[in-house]
Amino acid sequence: MATSTLFFVFFLLLFAPMAAFDVPTIPFSEGFSHLFGNDNLIRSKDDRSVRLSLNRYSGSGFISSELYEHGFFSASIKLPRDYTAGVVVAFYTSNGDIFSNTHDELDFEFLGNVRGKDWRIQTNVYGNGSTARGREERYLVPFDPTEAAHRYSILWTPDYIIFYIDDVPIREVVRSDAMGGDFPSKPMSVYATIWDGSSWATSYGKIKINYKYAPYVSEFSDLVLRGCRVDPIQQVDTAERCAETVEELMSADFALLTPMKRAAMRRFRERYMIYSFCYDQRRYGNFTFPDCDYVSPEHARFGEWGDNRFPPKEVRRSRRRVRKPSPINVQSSE
């Protein structure tokens, strides 16, 4: 069977149609406010989408108007085109402005690249300032994220965290007693930013940003903030007050990993994960993370730096051999 046919069959299997999440979206002004970047943040006339840009003078970003104690946070994001080495676009939750030394954080970080090479997507999980034990994973994705908007979602509950691309779960972190404070537990805000990450984002910082191609523009739409809002100062009985909201979250379709969703997650990770903190012996030595499955077949694919021994080919070069349109659930940004 031809390589192009094999790739297309795999693509169909990975993104086999699943029920779309039924979640209400909100206007920007209903849940967010400008964080930084002055004129580098531009809202659409209908207040349903926002463009963040980066130039040689500044990046830009926005932040949720409230703190949340658990929730489902989502946005459709279209990334900058062309040469994007050194550019970082991020959609994440954090409380670093309140707990500077013991902050929690959940990230989607989109790492730019040179022309013709794929963006990388990185997910991070930090709890109680545990950046020294950073739980990072990095992936390629089976589409060009600059052609159209795709939905990226973070579900954070008291018991587990799930990262989604469109309706496909790509990572699950289950809380355990052994994780202790490494599992995020304090109220967080939701952020979106674009900034210059030349020191590390592309080829471990070897390739820098080139402002000849600026401005770099990313677009955010289909904004979702679904969770328990809390006061940053008066957090008395937060768990009790948020119990009903958490119960609703954990019974929603995006919180239920059906056998079909788990199979899709396994296929995505087998095909597109290119780095895992679990296997990075150079960074962590013989330290073992309680949330890593060291006996899984996944282990054999990664070397001592945590990198995939058999990295997938660049997605765009593979996609050029596929003429049929992909079946992935694309939500275009107007």
User: What pLDDT score was predicted for residue 130?
Assistant: 86
pLDDT for 112-156, tens place per residue? Answer: 999 888 899 999 999 999 888 889 999 998 899 999 999 999 999
Q: What is the pTM of this model?
A: 0.88
247 has catalytic annotation: no
User: What pLDDT score was predicted for residue 300?
Assistant: 78
User: What pLDDT score was predicted for residue 274?
Assistant: 92
pLDDT tops 80 at residue 327: no
For residue 237, name the pLDDT band (cuts at 50, 70, 90).
low
Exactly one of 66, 69, 105, 137 is catalytic; name it: 105
For residue 11, name the pLDDT band (cuts at 50, 70, 90).
very low
109 has catalytic annotation: yes
- Where b means 16+ CB within 10 Å and e means fewer, 240-261 reads eebeebbeebbeeebbeeeeeb
pLDDT for 173-195, tens place per residue? Answer: 999 999 999 999 999 999 999 99
For residue 315, name the pLDDT band (cuts at 50, 70, 90).
low
pLDDT for 191-216, tens place per residue? Answer: 999 999 999 999 989 999 999 999 99
pLDDT for 35-87, tens place per residue? Answer: 999 999 999 999 999 999 999 999 999 999 999 999 999 999 999 999 999 99
Count of C-beta atoms within a 10 Å radius of residue 89: 31
pLDDT-wise least confident of 68-77, 90-99, 297-306: 297-306
Average pLDDT over residues 153-162: 97
User: What pLDDT score was predicted for residue 63?
Assistant: 98
Kindly state the percentage of the chain with pLDDT values over 70: 85
Q: Select the more confidently predicted residue: 321 or 280.
A: 280
| HEC string for the chain | CCHHHHHHHHHHHHCCCCCCCCCCCCCHHHHEEEEECHHHEEECCCCCEEEEEECCCCCEEEEECCEEEEEEEEEEEECCCCCCCCEEEEEEEECCCCCCCCCCEEEEEEECCCCCCCCEEEEEEECCCHHHHCEEEEECCCCCCCCCCEEEEEEECCCEEEEEECCEEEEEEECCHHHHHHCCCCCEEEEEEEEECCCCCCHHHCCCCCHHHCCEEEEEEEEEEEEEEECCCCCCCHHHHHHHHHHHHHHCHHHCCCHHHHHHHHHHHHHHEEEEEEEEHHHHCCCCCCCCCCCCHHHHHECCEEEECCCCCCHHHHHCCCCCCCCCCCCCCC
pLDDT for 238-280, tens place per residue? Answer: 677 899 999 999 999 999 999 999 999 999 999 999 999 999 9
Exactly one of 66, 109, 136, 219 is catalytic; name it: 109
Kindly state the percentage of the chain with pLDDT values over 90: 70
